[in-house]
Structure 1
Amino acid sequence: MAKLPDPVPPLPRDDNFSRALPAAAAFDWLKAGWADFRQQPGPSLAYGILAFVLSIVLIGGLFALDLDYILFPAIAGFMVVGPFLAIGLYEKSRLIQEGRPVSLREMILVRGQSMGQLLFSGVLLCLLMLLWMRAAVIIYALFFGLQPFPGLDDVTGMLFTTPTGLWLLLVGSLVGGLFAAFAFAISVFAIPMLLNEKSDALTAMGTSMAFVWNNLPVMLTWGVIVVVLFGLSTITGFLGLVVAFPVLGHATWHAYLAVRQPERYMRTTSSGQPEEGYNGAVS
């Protein structure tokens, strides 16, 4: 009897990236983000309003250009570029951590450690979003051929009452989930890292992915929190982004500190004040 091959061993975890954080730590990040939001909320609200306006302009533009068939992929794509759009929110949290005054001007004119690489990472995320939107169109064509998009009034019936539509939903959700998971893994820590440290975009994205993989329980919990809050914001006609977007942005900064600078994160959160001599940079 032929011997069965040995099972493929799981990918090894690296102690340099593992922080042994419980899943519940994600709610601590959210709580810290809410605290940053409440401290001088004006600039954070301005960011949230901007996210809301951009969403409305995007949707209006798609309808004006008769591109409503990519509406749902475009909405999902917003989550891909969201970490880059939240740079100013990370900056506010960093200023609070350093005990420096916060202003909307500082949040707009961000002076990060790796600004050129930040812009490059933003371009990469935008390209990833465009790739997802193109993939969504191709998936639709694979199931419905050259049949024109029926419009939002009839698309629900087409998707949920026909076998082809149900398969499209299943495959599209799986592919979209892969895109979303990849974008989340490479960007959730990469953007704050480039803001706070001297690095290049590819190294930061690789480091971000390593942190996500080696801290899966808490990162899966954080991903669910992000999806739920974004989903609730979508149900409200994106009005919920006015608060949800800045809170998530501030919380992401605390997530970055928790995995990248755990000792400093614990000291600053336990005391509620910036660590003495803390300048936000990794030595």
Structure 2
Amino acid sequence: MDKPTPSIKKWLAFGWSSFMKTKTISIVFSSFFCIIAGLLYWLLLRIDADLVIFPFIAGFFIVAPILIIGFQQVASLLEKDKTPMFKDLIALNGQQNKGIWFLIFILSLCYFIWITDALVIYGLYFGIEPLPLDQAFITDPALRESLLWFLLYSGLIGWVTAVIGFLLGVFSIPLIIHQQLNFVDAVSISVKTVFKHKKLMFKWALTLVMITSLTLVIALPLLIIVFPVLGYASYAVYADLLINKDNSQR
């Protein structure tokens, strides 16, 4: 039997249909992160630390795999025609919780390193005083040049850190949750699968970055919808590239 062709559109469609089936618990869960992001934005803007918002937005992609654990569990229940509950979004199921917790530690450490480096680079170019993002960055050549270098260097560090997080978490989390693999085996398969489907996974990562970035920058309230949709879609990625592959070889 031919294996269905993996498709980003199909993954997103699965994410949307799963969200529609679980709107109440999904919105309640994602609202928590939306409120945290909103408070962070408000605090940084209040102290005129506009530029610091961008490192925190970039850091979201590092810890995002951690935040989809609950959506992975709910999506699996939906495929089994079971009715998920809110506790399924917040409780860790299975016997390999140590692997999940260790992965959470690794990704959190990557996030801490990224934020620390970004703030150090910010300090090198702008000092320790908060600096609002206003027209001075356009009219002042020195500020404009500093902004470009800050975005370049912090962007490179953020890109490397986010790639590491993506490689580690994109498949290892569902493998630990659904197949009860240990941390080492799950990460090994995750990295191998990403490199095996390099072009497709690059497109998927780019899709995640574009959708999430636009949401965080210009439409933060939509995070309560976008976050669950992408979280459920991540299960479809795992199912397409690992579960369906195994079934097609039987």
TM over 0.5: yes
Q: CA deviation at 1:263?
A: 4.3
CA contact (8 A) 2:18 2:232 kept: yes
Measure, in 1, the Cα distance between the counterparts of 2:126 and 2:89. Answer: 47
Q: CA deviation at 1:244?
A: 0.5
1:162 corresponds to which of 144, 152, 163: 144
1:223 corresponds to which of 200, 205, 225: 205
* Aligned match of 1:126: 108
- Worse-matched range after superposition: 191-200 or 107-116: 107-116
Measure, in 2, the Cα distance between the counterparts of 1:98 and 1:136. Answer: 43
Residue 228 (structure 2) pairs with residue 246 (structure 1) = yes
Q: Secondary structure at the match of 1:245?
A: helix
TM value normalised by structure 1: 0.76
Residue 163 (structure 2) pairs with residue 172 (structure 1) = no
Cα separation, partners in 2 of 1:68 and 1:194, compared to 1, 3 Å: farther
Cα separation, partners in 2 of 1:58 and 1:207, compared to 1, 3 Å: farther
Residue 77 (structure 2) pairs with residue 81 (structure 1) = no
Cα separation, partners in 2 of 1:141 and 1:191, compared to 1, 3 Å: same
Residue 210 (structure 2) pairs with residue 192 (structure 1) = no
Q: Secondary structure at the match of 2:221?
A: coil
Measure, in 1, the Cα distance between the counterparts of 2:136 and 2:7. Answer: 40
Q: CA deviation at 1:260?
A: 1.6
Q: CA deviation at 1:242?
A: 0.7
Aligned-residue CA RMSD (Å):
2.8
Q: CA deviation at 1:101?
A: 1.7
- Worse-matched range after superposition: 220-229 or 175-184: 175-184
Q: CA deviation at 1:146?
A: 4.2
* Aligned match of 2:99: 117
Measure, in 2, the Cα distance between the counterparts of 1:187 and 1:59. Answer: 26
Measure, in 2, the Cα distance between the counterparts of 1:58 and 1:265. Answer: 45
1:138 corresponds to which of 78, 103, 120: 120
Cα separation, partners in 2 of 1:170 and 1:246, compared to 1, 3 Å: same
Q: Secondary structure at the match of 1:103?
A: coil
Cα separation, partners in 2 of 1:58 and 1:118, compared to 1, 3 Å: farther
Q: CA deviation at 1:88?
A: 1.2
CA contact (8 A) 2:137 2:144 kept: no
Cα separation, partners in 2 of 1:160 and 1:173, compared to 1, 3 Å: farther
CA contact (8 A) 1:51 1:245 kept: no
CA contact (8 A) 2:137 2:147 kept: no
Cα separation, partners in 2 of 1:148 and 1:47, compared to 1, 3 Å: same
2:89 corresponds to which of 107, 112, 126: 107
> Hey, which of these two has a bigger chunk of helix by percent?
2
Q: Secondary structure at the match of 1:239?
A: helix
Q: Unaligned stretches of 5+ in structure 2?
A: none
Cα separation, partners in 2 of 1:42 and 1:251, compared to 1, 3 Å: same
CA contact (8 A) 1:74 1:133 kept: yes
Q: CA deviation at 1:149?
A: 4.1
CA contact (8 A) 1:226 1:248 kept: yes
1:114-163 deviations in Å (ceiling 9; x for gaps)? 11211221111111001001111233344x27464423446744699633
Measure, in 1, the Cα distance between the counterparts of 2:141 and 2:231. Answer: 34
TM value normalised by structure 2: 0.85
Aligned residues: percent identity? 25
Measure, in 1, the Cα distance between the counterparts of 2:95 and 2:146. Answer: 50
Measure, in 2, the Cα distance between the counterparts of 1:29 and 1:258. Answer: 9
